């Protein structure tokens, strides 16, 4: 059985072995014992609330309780950009118009910005290939929204997720080739590695800081602004269903979109409910939907936050969970849990 839970001190080795599977492209999860150890310590301090909210890094692991294996990992950073500047390009609009010539030109424009400074970030999502099936991916990714809905006071107004940008078949980034290369005069992957290592002051020194019309870029670069990497498209759709949107912020190197939402407008904030664990009654049984939808259920304990996906459905503020489910959640009859339909309800319009 799978449970997503707050990471703990004993997970370091499993985390490292997971990181060896990740490959390039995810700069926050590299197989480096020192880096991972530091991060784990921050995560444990986060759940223990011994560091301030903006320094926190809530990491979750998906555990297969049948064999104790770690099947996946994901995280929420309390705030980005408060120690190193967090850069994006923001896409704005400028209109050039002359009534005399009857010309009206609407141009998309790139602004180098730190606007997202202080936002909370969804990051480091990785599911082991052996577990890529069924609801597992959804459970892992969406568990973070249930956590936010349970503890909204821990998060800033805005939540973001950076998506890997479009790459050509040869692994090159048309956006970088059209823009960054002129200023960095080095390889895309080289720049990417430097960023991962935290060598970021060069961004302020080398990037063009003046607003740029996207029209100045080669067509291939223009076309990929805000486009995700092929392999990232499903993750993007999933986050969009939860209420995140592309609002015109992109990565400065590969122009991958940043998805964002007000915390208060996440689906989980609107649609998740508290329920009391209670045995099934005739009345509840009668009122339950004929075709139950899978439901995400979590306990309400910060330090040992645990989430599962189950077929049980809350009815009138009560939910009947199996003994196994209760064990996974470390809950008992009478405890309060938080529930959220795993899938998005279709609009009734």
Partner 1 sequence: MYVVRPVEAGDIAALEALAAVTMPGVHTLPKTRDKIEQAVERSIASFAAQVDIPSEESYLFVLEALAERKIVGTAAIFASAGSNGTYFSFRNDVIQQVSRDLNICHNVHALTLCSELTAYSQLSSFYVDEALQERPEAALLSRSRLLFAVQQPQRFGDRFFVPLAGVTDEKGGSPFWDALGRKFFKMDFLDAERVIGGARNRTLIVELMPHYPVYVPLLPGDAQAAMGQIHPSGELAFNLLTAEGFEADEYIDIFDGGPILQAHKHALRTFTSSQTLRVRTGDGQVPEGPLVNYAIANNAGPAFRAVTIACPELEGCEAVALSPELQDILRVAEGDSVTCVRV
Name the one range near partner 1 by CB under 8 A: 29-37, 198-206, 254-262, 316-324: 198-206
Site membership for a copy of itself, residue 104 (CB under 8 A):
yes
Chosen from partner 1, a copy of itself, none, partner binding at 16 (C-beta under 5 to 8 Å by type): none
- DSSP assignment string, 133-195: STTHHHHHHHHHHHHHHH-GGGS-SEEEEE-PBP--TTS--HHHHHTHHHHH-S-HHHHHHHH
- Residue 258 buriedness (CB in 10 A; 0-12 / 13-18 / 19+): buried
Site membership for a copy of itself, residue 85 (CB under 8 A):
yes
Q: Is 23 left (phi over 0), alpha (psi -120 to 50) or beta?
A: left
Q: Kindly give, in sequence order, each residue whose CB lies less than 8 Å from that of residue 77, ignoring residues fewer than 6 positions away.
A: 56, 57, 58, 120, 121, 123
The number of residues that bind partner 1 (CB under 8 A) is 30
- Residue 294 buriedness (CB in 10 A; 0-12 / 13-18 / 19+): middle
Q: Kind of pairing, strands 318-319 and 273-277?
A: parallel
Among 27, 55, 113, 300, indicate the residue that binds a copy of itself (CB under 8 A): 113
Spatial CA neighbour of 206 closest among 87, 54, 78, 323? 87
Contact call for residues 200 and 84 (beta carbons, < 8 A): yes
Q: Which is catalytic among the residues 153, 190, 229, 332? A: 229
Chosen from a copy of itself, partner 1, none, partner binding at 344 (C-beta under 5 to 8 Å by type): none
Name the one range near a copy of itself by CB under 8 A: 4-12, 116-124, 137-145, 163-171: 116-124
Site membership for a copy of itself, residue 270 (CB under 8 A):
yes
Give, in order, the Cα–Cα distances in Å from 231 to each of 143, 195, 236. Answer: 21, 22, 10
Chosen from a copy of itself, partner 1, none, partner binding at 32 (C-beta under 5 to 8 Å by type): none
Quote the Cα angle for 85-73-138, to 5°. Answer: 105
Name residues contacting partner 1, limited to 90-119 (CB under 8 A): 96-98, 100-101, 103, 105, 107
Give, in order, the Cα–Cα distances in Å from 282 to each of 1, 120, 252, 320. Answer: 28, 44, 58, 12
Minimum distance of a copy of itself from residue 86's CB (angstroms): 8
Name the one range near partner 1 by CB under 8 A: 155-163, 199-207, 306-314, 330-338: 199-207
Residues 203-232: x where in contact with partner 1 by CB under 8 A, - otherwise, as a string: -xxx-xxxxxx-xxx---------------
The number of residues that bind a copy of itself (CB under 8 A) is 37
Name residues contacting a copy of itself, limited to 146-165 (CB under 8 A): 149
Minimum distance of a copy of itself from residue 24's CB (angstroms): 27
In whole angstroms, give the CA distance from residue 336 to residue 150. 11
In whole angstroms, give the CA distance from residue 124 to residue 240. 17
- The H-or-E segment that residue 234 falls in is helix 233-241
Q: Quickly tell me which residue has 């209420």 as its tokens.
A: 243
Among 83, 241, 316, 324, indicate the residue that binds a copy of itself (CB under 8 A): 83
Residues 197-226: x where in contact with a copy of itself by CB under 8 A, - otherwise, as a string: ----x--x------x---------------
Site membership for partner 1, residue 9 (CB under 8 A):
no
- 229 catalytic? Reply is yes
Contact call for residues 155 and 77 (beta carbons, < 8 A): no
Among 84, 130, 187, 304, indicate the residue that binds a copy of itself (CB under 8 A): 84
Chosen from a copy of itself, partner 1, none, partner binding at 215 (C-beta under 5 to 8 Å by type): partner 1
Q: Which residues are catalytic?
A: 229
Question: Which residues contact partner 1 (rule: CB under 8 A)?
Answer: 96-98, 100-101, 103, 105, 107, 178-179, 182-185, 194, 199, 201-202, 204-206, 208-213, 215-217
Question: Which residues contact a copy of itself (rule: CB under 8 A)?
Answer: 81-86, 90, 92-95, 97, 99, 104, 106, 111, 113-118, 149, 201, 204, 211, 245, 262, 265, 269-270, 272-274, 347-349
């Amino acid at each position: 059985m799978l449970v997503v839970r707050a990471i703990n001190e004993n997970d370091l080795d499993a985390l490292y072995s997971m990181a060896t599977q990740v490959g390039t492209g995810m700069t926050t999860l590299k197989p480096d014992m020192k880096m991972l150890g530091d991060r784990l310590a921050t995560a444990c301090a986060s759940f223990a609330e011994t560091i301030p909210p903006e320094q926190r890094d809530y990491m979750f692991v998906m555990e297969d309780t049948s064999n104790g294996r770690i099947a996946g990992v994901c995280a929420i950073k309390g705030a980005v950009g408060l120690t190193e500047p967090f850069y994006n390009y923001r896409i704005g609009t400028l209109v050039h118009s002359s009534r005399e010539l009857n010309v009206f030109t609407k141009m998309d424009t790139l602004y180098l910005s730190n606007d997202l400074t202080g936002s909370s970030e969804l990051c480091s999502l990785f599911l082991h290939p052996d577990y890529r099936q069924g609801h597992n991916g959804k459970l892992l990714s969406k568990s973070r929204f249930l956590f936010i809905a349970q503890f909204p006071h821990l998060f800033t107004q805005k939540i973001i997720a950076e998506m890997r940008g479009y790459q050509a078949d040869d692994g090159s980034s048309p956006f970088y080739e059209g823009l960054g290369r002129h200023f960095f005069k080095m390889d895309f992957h080289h720049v990417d590695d430097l960023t991962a290592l935290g060598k970021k002051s060069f961004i302020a020194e080398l990037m063009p800081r003046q607003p740029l019309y996207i029209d100045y870029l080669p067509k291939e670069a223009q076309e990929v602004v805000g486009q995700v990497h092929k392999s990232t498209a499903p993750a993007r759709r999933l986050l969009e269903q939860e209420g995140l949107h592309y609002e015109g912020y992109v990565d400065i190197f590969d122009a991958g979109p940043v998805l964002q939402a007000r915390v208060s407008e996440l689906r989980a904030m609107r649609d998740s409910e508290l329920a009391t664990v209670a045995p099934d009654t005739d009345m509840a049984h009668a009122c339950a939907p004929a075709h139950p939808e899978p439901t995400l259920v979590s306990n309400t304990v910060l330090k040992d936050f645990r989430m599962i996906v189950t077929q049980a459905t809350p009815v009138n503020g009560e939910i009947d969970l199996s003994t196994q489910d209760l064990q996974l959640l470390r809950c008992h009859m009478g405890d309060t849990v938080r529930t959220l339909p795993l899938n998005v309800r279709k609009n009734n319009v």
